[in-house]
Structure 1
Amino acid sequence: MSDALLDVRDLVVRYGDATAVDHVSFTLAPGETLALNGPSGCGKSSTALAVLQLRRPASGEVRFEGQELTTLSEPELRPIRPRMQPVFQDPYGSLSPRHRIRDAVAEPLRIQGRRPTPDQVAELLDRVGLDPAYGDRRPHELSGGQCQRAGIARALACEPHLLVLDEPVSSLDPSIRAGVLNLLADLQDDLGLGYLFICHDRAVVRRFADRVMEMRDGRVISG
C-alpha cells in the first residue's frame, strides 16, 4: 500500500533459536487503529518492538511512511524515531522516579535538541487531561491513570504520526481504563494518529480498534 502509514512484510523476530514472530505481515493506514490480539507469549510485543526498531528483526521489511527501516543504521533512524512513539504497559516503570513529570514530558524534545518552554509542557499536560500543576510532581505522587496520561503526553511531545500502544490500559482499574481509552480516541480524531494497539482483552479490542489481527505462537491466524 503506497499510502500506508506502516507496511510490515514477512517480519521474523528471533531470540536465539526461538522464533517469536514468524512471517507476520500487515498494514496500517493514517488515522487507523489496528489491534494485535492474542494470549501472552504469542508475539504481540515482539512485533511492536520490531516495528519501532527497538528489537531488530531477523528478516522482513518494516516500511514507515514509505521508508524501509530495517536497513537503516541507528544514526539514520534517529530523525525518524520522533514520528513513531511507544506507550508502554507500566505507567510507573516508563517514567523515571527521580524526574518531575514536567521534565519527563519535556525529555523527548531535549533529546531532539529543542528547548521546550514551560508553556509547551503545560499545553501537553492539558491535552491529556492533566492539570499542568501536576508537572511539579514525581510519578509516585500520581495515580496509575495519571501516570499513563503523563506517558501519553511524553509520547506526543515530538508530534508523532504513529503510536505503538503496548497494553496501555491493562494495568489500570476499569473506571480509569475507560477514561484513558476515551482520551486516546479523542487524540486520534484531533491529530490523525495511527495506532498499533497491542492488547489481550477482547472486550477492549472490540470497542477500540478499527481492525483486529489475531496472533498465536508468533503467527497471524486471522485478520
Structure 2
Amino acid sequence: MTAIKARLQEIGAAGIVVTHELEFFGDLSDGTIDLARHLTRPLPATTTARARERSTQEIIPMVSSLNTQKSPPGRAVPLAVDRLSVRTEGGRALVVDVSFRLGAGSCIGLVGPSGAGKTTVLRALLGQHRDSSGQVLVGECRLPLHYSARTTAEKRLFEYVPQSVRLHLNPALSIGYLIARRLRQADRVDNANEAVKVLDSISLPADYLLKRVSELSGGECQRLGIALAIAARPRILLLDEVTASLDPANSAFVVELLRKLRDERSVSMLFVSHQPDMVARLADDVIEMRSGHVLSSGISVDLGSLPAAMSSRPAALEQAHSVARSYP
C-alpha cells in the first residue's frame, strides 16, 4: 500500500480500494465508506471495529435457522499422514516430512506464512502431486499418492473447497444444475427435494436453485462451494482459505456453518487460514508450517497461543482478540 500510494502521488491519480480490511486501510486511506451500512460519507477509522462487531452479531443468529436435524455419525475414519514430502519436477522440496493425525469429526488448523506449504499439503492429499512420497492412511486403508491410482470410493473420501469458489465455477450454470450434477456424481438421488435440502444446509432458500453463479455474492459462492462438497458426503473436508475473501460477518457465518456440519455429520476438516480468530473458533488443534516443514503441532487453539506468524502486525492479533470476544 505504501508503494501504491507513492505511485498515485507520482502520477497525480486518485485511488479506490475495495477491501474487507477496514482497520488496516483506515490507517492508510484518506477516508473509508462502509457500503454495508449504506453510508455516503467517509467512515472514521475509529468506528470501523464497532461496525464490524455489529455486523458480525447480526449474521451469527442466522446459524440458528439452519436445519437442526442431526445426521447419524458414520464410521470413524481418522486420517493419518506420515512423512509426507512433495517435490517439484526439478527436485525442489515443497513439503518435507509432514506428519499428523486427524480424528473423525475433528478439525486441524494449518497455519503459517504464504509459501509455507499449507496448500501443497492439501493438494498432495488429493493426489495432485506426482512427485510425492510418504503415507496417507484413512482408517486402515493406505491411499495411493496419485489420484489416478485411487478407486472411486477412495477419491470420494476427500472434498476440497478453494479460497475463491467463484473462480472454479462456470458463471453461466444454475445452482440447481450444479447441485444435481454433484448428487449424481456421488450416486445420490438428484431430485428437487434433495437439492433443496442441500441449499437448506447452507441457509439459502429454494429459489436459489434457479439462480446462476454469476448472480451470487462472494459469501453465497463460498457457501455454495461448501454445499457442493458436502453433497458428495466426504469423510474429510480440505478447506483452503475459505474465509479469506469474505467480510468479517460472512466469515463468522461460514465458520459457524462448518462447525455445525462437523459436529452433526462427524466430518473431519483441515482448515488452512491466516485468520487467528477463525482458526480459534473452528480448529481443535493447530499445525504451524514454514518453508515446507512443520515447526510445531498440537498448539492450543487459544488466540493468545496461536503462532505470531499468523499476523504480520501485532495490532491485527489484538484486533482478532477483540472480535473473538464479541462472538456469542
Give your verdict on TM over 0.5: yes
In the superposition, the TM-score normalised over structure 1's length comes to: 0.93
Counterpart of 1:11, as a letter, is L
Q: Quote the offset at 1:22 in angstroms.
A: 0.6
Question: What is the CA–CA distance in structure 1 between the aligned matches of 2:239 and 2:86, rounded to whole Å?
Answer: 19
1:87 aligns with 2:161: yes
1:132 aligns with 2:206: yes
Structure having the higher strand fraction is: 1
3-state SS of 2:262 partner: helix
3-state SS of 2:264 partner: helix
Question: What is the CA–CA distance in structure 2 between the aligned matches of 1:12 and 1:101, rounded to whole Å?
Answer: 37
Listed one character per residue, the Cα deviations across residues 15-40 of structure 1 (whole Å, up to 9, x for unaligned) are 12221111100010001000110111
Q: Quote the offset at 1:169 in angstroms.
A: 0.6
User: Counterparts of 1:124-163 in structure 2 under 5 Å?
Assistant: 124-163=198-237
Is the contact made by 2:136 and 2:145 (CA closer than 8 Å) also made in structure 1? no
Q: Quote the offset at 1:67 in angstroms.
A: 1.1
Structure 1 residues 57 and 130, CA gap change in structure 2 (3 angstroms): farther
Mean CA deviation greater in 96-105 or 142-151: 96-105
Structure 1 residues 57 and 33, CA gap change in structure 2 (3 angstroms): farther
Question: What is the CA–CA distance in structure 2 between the aligned matches of 1:46 and 1:75, rounded to whole Å?
Answer: 19
Question: What is the CA–CA distance in structure 1 between the aligned matches of 2:139 and 2:177, rounded to whole Å?
Answer: 30
Q: Give 1 or 2 for the bigger CA radius of gyration.
A: 2
Q: Quote the offset at 1:190 in angstroms.
A: 1.0
Question: What is the CA–CA distance in structure 2 between the aligned matches of 1:151 and 1:73, rounded to whole Å?
Answer: 21
Counterpart of 2:142, as a letter, is E
Is the contact made by 1:6 and 1:29 (CA closer than 8 Å) also made in structure 2? yes
Structure having the higher helix fraction is: 2
- Unaligned residue ranges in structure 2 (runs of 5+): 1-75, 298-328
3-state SS of 1:148 partner: helix
Q: Quote the offset at 1:6 in angstroms.
A: 0.5
1:213 to 287, 311, 314: 287
Q: Percent identity?
A: 37
Tell me the equivalent position of 1:8.
81
Is the contact made by 2:135 and 2:142 (CA closer than 8 Å) also made in structure 1? yes
Tell me the equivalent position of 2:100.
26
Q: Quote the offset at 1:73 in angstroms.
A: 6.5
In the superposition, the TM-score normalised over structure 2's length comes to: 0.64
Q: Quote the offset at 1:71 in angstroms.
A: 5.5
1:101 aligns with 2:175: yes
Listed one character per residue, the Cα deviations across residues 184-204 of structure 1 (whole Å, up to 9, x for unaligned) are 111111111101111122232
Is the contact made by 1:33 and 1:196 (CA closer than 8 Å) also made in structure 2? yes
Q: Quote the offset at 1:146 in angstroms.
A: 0.7
Counterpart of 1:191, as a letter, is R
Q: Quote the offset at 1:57 in angstroms.
A: 4.8
- Unaligned residue ranges in structure 1 (runs of 5+): none
Listed one character per residue, the Cα deviations across residues 31-77 of structure 1 (whole Å, up to 9, x for unaligned) are 10001101111000000011121224521011122211125762633
2:142 to 68, 73, 77: 68
Structure 1 residues 221 and 121, CA gap change in structure 2 (3 angstroms): same
RMSD of aligned C-alpha atoms?
Answer: 1.7
Write out the 4+ residue segments of structure 1 that deviate beyond 3 Å after TM superposition: 112-115
Question: What is the CA–CA distance in structure 1 between the aligned matches of 2:165 and 2:150, rounded to whole Å?
Answer: 29
3-state SS of 1:168 partner: coil
1:171 to 245, 261, 265: 245
Is the contact made by 1:6 and 1:62 (CA closer than 8 Å) also made in structure 2? yes
Tell me the equivalent position of 2:269.
195
Is the contact made by 2:85 and 2:94 (CA closer than 8 Å) also made in structure 1? yes
Mean CA deviation greater in 93-102 or 184-193: 93-102
Structure 1 residues 209 and 219, CA gap change in structure 2 (3 angstroms): same
1:59 aligns with 2:133: yes
1:37 aligns with 2:111: yes
Tell me the equivalent position of 2:194.
120
